[in-house]
Amino acid sequence: MKEISNLPRDLVEEVLCRTPLTSLRRVRSTCKNWNTLSRCESFAKKYLAGQAREREFMVVIMMDFRVYLMRVNLHNNNNNNLESYLKCEGELISLGDEVKISQVFHCDGLLLCINISEEKTRLVVWNPYWGHTRTIEPTHNFPSIHMYSYAFGYDKSSKSHKILMFMNMRDEFNIYDFNSDSWRVLNVTTTHWTIWFTHYGVTLKGNVYLFAREKANHCDFFLVCFDFTRDTFGPLLPLPFAQCLIHRDTMSVSSVREEQLAFLFHPWHTLRMEIWITSKIEPHAVSWNSKVFLSVSIKQLIDPQYQFNLGSFFVDEEKKVAVVFENGYKDTRRNMAYIFGVDGSLKEVDLGESAYEYCYPLVCSYVPSLVQVNQVVLV
């Protein structure tokens, strides 16, 4: 151990920079000097810059109630090894075998994990690089995930991160502020619309975009932005087409380069999937590219009876592909990634068997950062 601690700094930095993010916690426990160096801000910037490899990007994926880090390189031309497109580096965070993470949200390099147990709900905010966690007790503690939904963002004026908690199908909102370390009731009303809780929102530039549905007409769906700086909802924002939607249709949103939104639509009766990308997105306005990014027939490519459930996805504009994560169409315990090309091509990547039936994989973009959460340090 003494020999390790006496290695030259430049050699230690070289070793640490080659360490995957999922192994950083174990490496820090090797010796005190390595732990101290890895927490130096100048080294941290160097490490994170090295993680951003050319033509690769990182995503966080939840499978089997666990959270993993995945590297994506869709420019890989090795068609004989499809798994090389999507490389799962390992579990990103572990809160114990008894903990089941049912949802994960990314904002500004932080992850909000929703832990559902048989007794209560617990919220854990985590920075994967620092190893800092912050446990937050919700204002209401129901074990059922169907009671409450969450969103994650930050206040641009105070630089404080916030969590929005809302009761499904009801106009009841609470907000948690990291600076004050407290919850408060949010005095907002949604008179003619309600948040459609079965679909997850996505955070973009500190604000969260959610699906909303008209109360009077259940076939009218929109996007709505919650502005964490003003703590209020913006107006209803149109989807890229005007057509009647129903709850059986699959809808999903994703961020594109942390700048735009992508919208996935998969109507149950046609089994045709479309993905649209915004040309402009703000809390009070949205415009969509006039041409659809991707349009493919799920019926012809996968199976005549197959339909996406959550439709968790991301797109690579440069490579002109979309990757959708779902359970398998032949085996609902298989976690699958479907890589669709705008040319109509399809590649399938088997991500392994799930211990739970109908535990759908959930993916979100991930860009590491040095943001602090200031509560607990996991060495």
Give the long-range contacts of residues 273-278, CB within 8 A, separation 24 or more: 273/297, 273/298, 273/308, 273/311, 273/324, 273/340, 275/313, 275/315, 275/322, 276/240, 276/241, 277/315, 277/317
List pLDDT tens digits, range 223-243: 999 999 999 999 999 999 766
> What amino acid occupies position 234?
G
Q: In CATH, what class is 52-377? A: mainly beta
Lowest mean pLDDT among 133-137, 152-156, 261-265, 275-279: 133-137
Given pLDDT bands bounded at 50, 70 and 90, which one contains residue 377? very low
Euclidean distance between CA atoms 278 and 315, whole angstroms: 13
pLDDT greater than 90 at residue 34: no
Please give the angle made by the CA atoms of 220, 255 and 216, to the nearest 5 degrees. 10
Cα-based torsion angle of the residue sequence 32, 68, 59, 101 in order, rounded to the nearest 10 degrees: -110
Please report, for residues 277, 278, 294, the alpha-carbon distance to residue 291 in angstroms, rounded to integers and kept in the order given: 9, 10, 9
Per this entry, what is the length of the chain? 379
CA 39, 59, 105, 260: dihedral to nearest 10 degrees? Answer: 110
Q: Which of 101-105, 277-281, 309-313, 352-356: highest mean pLDDT?
A: 277-281
Q: Where are the domains of the chain?
A: 1-51, 52-377
Residue 168 has pLDDT above 70, yes or no: no
Q: How far apart are CA 85 and CA 232, in angstroms?
A: 40
* Contact criterion met (CB below 8 Å) for 104 and 114: yes
Residue of higher predicted confidence among 178 and 197: 178
Can you read off the two tokens belonging to residue 147?
A: 């009671």
Q: Given this model, what pLDDT does residue 75 score?
A: 76
Query: Following DSSP, what letter does each residue of 98-155 receive, concatenated?
Result: T--EEEEEEETTEEEEEEE-SS-EEEEEEETTTTEEEEE--SS--S-TTTEEEEEEEE
- Asked if 358 and 335 count as a contact pair (C-beta separation under 8 A), the reply is no
Q: Which one-letter amino acid corresponds to residue 1?
A: M
- Strand order of the β-sheet with 86-93 is 86-93, 66-72, 57-63, 362-366
- For position 39, what pLDDT does the model report? 82
Q: pLDDT: is 310 or 330 the higher one? A: 310
Residue 369 has a pLDDT of: 85
Higher per-residue pLDDT: 6 or 49: 49
pLDDT digits (tens, 9 = 90+) for 242-297: 665 666 788 899 999 888 999 999 887 777 889 999 999 999 999 999 999 999 88
Write down the pLDDT at residue 46.
83
CA 100 to chain centre: 16
With contact defined as beta carbons under 8 Å apart, do 365 and 258 qualify? Answer: yes
User: Which pLDDT tens digit goes with each residue over 103-114?
Assistant: 899 999 899 988
Residues 202/255, Cβ–Cβ less than 8 Å: yes
d(CA 186, CA 235): 17
Backbone angles phi, psi at 171, to 5 degrees: -85, 70
CA distance 138 to 122: 7
The one-letter code for the residue type at 379 is: V
Q: Are 314 and 365 in contact (CB under 8 A)?
A: yes
Chain mean pLDDT for the chain: 82
Name every residue whose Cβ is closer than 8 Å to that of residue 293 and which is 6 or more positions away in sequence.
262, 275, 276, 277, 315, 317, 322, 342
Beta-carbon neighbour count of residue 371 at 10 Å? Answer: 18
Q: pTM higher than 0.85 for the full model? A: yes
State how far the Cα of 220 lies from the Cα of 330, in Å rounded to an integer. Answer: 33
Q: How many Cβ atoms from other residues are within 10 Å of residue 168's Cβ?
A: 16
Cα(185)–Cα(187) distance, rounded to whole angstroms? 6
For residues 21 and 89, is the Cβ–Cβ distance under 8 A? Answer: yes
pLDDT at 5 over 80: no
> Cα–Cα distance between 53 and 22 in angstroms, integer?
16
375 confidence band (pLDDT: 50, 70, 90):
low
